[in-house]
């Protein structure tokens, strides 16, 4: 079964299509690459019938073609030339500050990815698709590995409430000699900047500086940070009086930590003593049925995002929390490698 070759050809054909641009030319090129990917899977169908990766690729192609309005008829991309043999100096000829390209070159397949998010009360979706609602107050690490440190600071959502919201997010992109200088990004309520703390918008003057870039999606409300040198994308949003964090990280990056770095909410979720039920007790600030109606307008599927939305609106009385849950779901839709895991039901 040669499905991995089909996967790597598709990744190679779409590498130059990464970035914020989504014009007509992008759509045409992307559809061409998808048709070529589909053709490749059909050619391997006989030998790959029992391969899960093959069936996953076939369903993924169908979904992407529908999402991008691609016609099944039309030109296909030319076959990808075989990569040159490695030179005696290893991979120096390859751009080592492009993680996905380097991984594909070395392993013959695209890397795997994991997704984590923190939003609302806060609610934590871990890299392992566990989902917790936390009462954590003060500063807690979401991530602490060899490449990234992310800390969220929480404060009470309302006087006398056990519920908390994220009021500050600090992200440290650790120094990577070949690619970037160490960069620190910090967002606070009503201050979601489109720049690092030193005023820069990229990874610095090193040759791979452009492999770390900040994009402003909505002024003062939504930024996206692309760290291509580690195959990672981060979104930071503000909705109402709370901040949210979402990440799509290469598996190798997400798992690059030692036993001493054991407290990471994105890895282990909330400590047991800090977990809360999402069934509000007592009188809330908004009736539960009113909250359910408001949340259903933004979140028609009654999954954990919907449950979290209802909990937050009831607890805080702030209808902007519907936008927080909706934004987290939209990030998950973009970042999750397996769309079947998009919704979590508890």
Number of domains in the chain: 2
User: For residue 334, which of 113, 171, 55, 61 has the smallest C-alpha distance?
Assistant: 113
Q: Are residues 63 and 143 in the same domain?
A: no
User: For residue 274, which of 123, 105, 66 has the smallest C-alpha distance?
Assistant: 123
| 291 assigned to some structural domain | no
Cα separation, 242 vs 144, in Å, equals 22
Cα separation, 45 vs 99, in Å, equals 30
Q: Are residues 40 and 132 in the same domain?
A: no
- In the chain, how long is the greatest CA-to-CA distance? 70
Q: Which of 214, 248, 271 is the last residue of a domain?
A: 271
Q: Are residues 60 and 130 in the same domain?
A: no
Neighbours of 53 (CB within 10 A): 14
- Interacting residues of 36 by C-beta distance below 8 A, sequence separation 6+: 9, 10, 13, 76, 77
| 95 assigned to some structural domain | no
Q: Which of 255, 271, 287 is the last residue of a domain?
A: 271
State the residue for tokens 């192609």. Answer: 61
Q: Are residues 197 and 131 in the same domain?
A: yes
| 97 assigned to some structural domain | no
Cα separation, 221 vs 89, in Å, equals 45
Q: Are residues 117 and 61 in the same domain?
A: no
Q: Are residues 263 and 120 in the same domain?
A: yes
CA distances 138 to 20, 151, 235, Å, are 35, 10, 21
Q: Are residues 181 and 250 in the same domain?
A: yes
Give the pLDDT confidence score for residue 22 in this predicted structure: 55
| 134 assigned to some structural domain | yes
| 329 assigned to some structural domain | no
Q: Which of 242, 271, 300 is the last residue of a domain?
A: 271
| 300 assigned to some structural domain | no
User: For residue 250, which of 106, 346, 154 has the smallest C-alpha distance?
Assistant: 106
Cα separation, 213 vs 233, in Å, equals 10
Q: Are residues 139 and 263 in the same domain?
A: yes
| 86 assigned to some structural domain | no
Q: Are residues 64 and 137 in the same domain?
A: no
Tokens at 98, concatenated = 């492009």
Say if residues 134 and 270 touch (Cβ distance below 8 Å). yes
| 92 assigned to some structural domain | no
Stated pTM of the model: 0.72
Give the pLDDT confidence score for residue 82 in this predicted structure: 46
- Interacting residues of 120 by C-beta distance below 8 A, sequence separation 6+: 165, 242, 244, 308, 309, 311, 312, 321, 324, 325, 328
Give the pLDDT confidence score for residue 2 in this predicted structure: 77
Q: Are residues 266 and 117 in the same domain?
A: yes
Q: Are residues 183 and 51 in the same domain?
A: no
Q: What is the pLDDT of residues 309-326, one digit of tens each?
A: 999 999 888 898 999 999
Q: Are residues 9 and 145 in the same domain?
A: no
For residue 227, what are the domain limits?
A: 113-271
Give the pLDDT confidence score for residue 317 in this predicted structure: 86
Return the CATH number at 254.
Answer: 3.40.1000.10
Q: Which residues of the chain have pLDDT under 50?
A: 80-93
Give the pLDDT confidence score for residue 14 in this predicted structure: 77
């Amino acid at each position: 079964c040669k499905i991995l070759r089909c996967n790597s050809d598709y990744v190679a054909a779409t590498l130059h299509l990464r970035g914020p641009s989504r014009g007509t030319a992008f759509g045409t090129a992307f559809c061409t690459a998808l048709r070529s990917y589909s053709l490749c899977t059909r050619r391997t169908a006989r030998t790959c019938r029992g391969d899960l990766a093959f069936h996953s690729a076939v369903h993924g192609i169908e979904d992407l073609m529908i999402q991008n309005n691609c016609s099944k008829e039309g030109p296909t991309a030319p076959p990808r030339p075989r990569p040159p043999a490695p030179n005696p100096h290893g991979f120096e000829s390859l751009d080592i500050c492009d993680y996905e390209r380097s991984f594909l070159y070395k392993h013959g397949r695209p890397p795997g990815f994991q997704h984590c998010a923190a939003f609302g009360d806060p609610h934590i979706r871990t890299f392992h698709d566990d989902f917790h609602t936390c009462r954590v107050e003060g500063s807690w690490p979401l991530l602490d590995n060899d490449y990234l440190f992310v800390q969220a600071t929480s404060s009470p959502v309302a006087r006398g409430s056990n519920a908390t919201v994220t009021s500050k997010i600090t992200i440290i992109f650790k120094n990577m000699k070949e690619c970037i200088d160490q960069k620190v990004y910090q967002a606070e309520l009503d201050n979601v900047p489109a720049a690092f703390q030193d005023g820069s918008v990229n990874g610095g003057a090193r040759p791979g500086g452009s492999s770390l870039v900040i994009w402003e999606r909505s002024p003062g409300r939504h930024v996206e940070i692309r760290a291509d040198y580690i195959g990672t994308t981060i979104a930071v949003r503000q909705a109402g009086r709370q901040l949210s964090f979402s990440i799509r990280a290469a598996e190798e990056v997400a798992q690059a930590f030692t036993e001493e770095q054991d407290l990471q909410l994105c890895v282990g979720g909330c400590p047991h003593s800090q977990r809360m039920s999402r069934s509000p007790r007592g009188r809330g600030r908004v009736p539960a049925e009113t909250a359910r109606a408001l949340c259903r307008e933004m979140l028609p599927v009654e999954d954990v995002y919907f449950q979290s939305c209802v909990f937050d609106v009831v607890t805080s009385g702030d209808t902007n929390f519907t936008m927080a849950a909706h934004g987290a779901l939209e990030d998950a839709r973009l970042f999750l490698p397996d769309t079947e895991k998009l919704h979590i039901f508890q």
